[in-house]
Amino acid sequence: MSKVERRVRSLVSGDSEMRDAIEVVLDRATDGEVQWIDVRDEITSGQWGRLIEKEILVDGETGFALADPDAIESGLEDDGGDGASGGDAETPETTSWTKWDKIAGVATIGAFVGYAVNPVRNAIAGAIDVVLGPLLNIVPFYVVVMVIALATGLYSTLLRAGLMDMEKMSAYQDRMKEIQERRKDAK
């Protein structure tokens, strides 16, 4: 399921009027694009803003383009009254490792094994020394440590922001709180 489809489902499950707004936008879109002037009589500016905020509508050539028309329609169809709304949050999806996950896993295991082998450890230390050696000659050691900490914090934050679906994580956390409350009540 694509992110756009998940976003459509969450909008529709949270607000029943959003289904009508999304359908109006789909109907009025020509060549995958729609302008506010085309739909302003049938949807509110708040609904229009939520569609843009959730990136269902993205910048287009002459107005706003539908992010993924097929996924938007799938999000509307799959949410139809069978209690499956929010099915995304109800049952965690099973995922398999992507090509990039496998490469990262092999590299991590390789690094662990590599540190046990003296020539590999020396090669890694030499590469790091090329980068940090000149910095150590200019500034004190604690500044180098702070630069490394800053770089680590920056790239980990950027990776987390780029790879984590915050809406899904929020739904999982809410569900976990609900389960804990039910368990507490049962005790």
Q: What is the pLDDT of residue 91?
A: 53
**pLDDT value at 153 more than 90:** yes
Contact predicate 82/12, CB 8 Å: no
Q: What is the pLDDT of residue 92?
A: 56
Instruction: Domain ranges for the chain, please list them.
Output: 3-90, 139-186
Q: What is the pLDDT of residue 143?
A: 92
Mean pLDDT (whole number) for 6-17: 81
Contact predicate 33/65, CB 8 Å: yes
Contact predicate 7/75, CB 8 Å: yes
Q: Please name the residue that has the structure tokens 């694509």.
A: 2
Q: Please name the residue that has the structure tokens 């996924």.
A: 71
Q: Tokens at residue 32, please?
A: 């995958």
**pLDDT value at 48 more than 80:** yes
- Residue 29: count of CB within 10 angstroms of its CB: 21
Q: What is the pLDDT of residues 98-131, one digit of tens each?
A: 888 899 999 999 888 888 889 888 988 899 899 8
Q: Tell me how long the chain is.
A: 187
Model pTM score: 0.43
Contact predicate 20/93, CB 8 Å: no
Mean pLDDT (whole number) for 5-20: 82
**pLDDT value at 82 more than 50:** no
Residues 6 or more apart whose CB falls under 8 angstroms from that of 155 comprise none
Task: Return the SS3 of 84.
Answer: coil
Residue 79: pLDDT band by 50, 70, 90 thresholds? very low
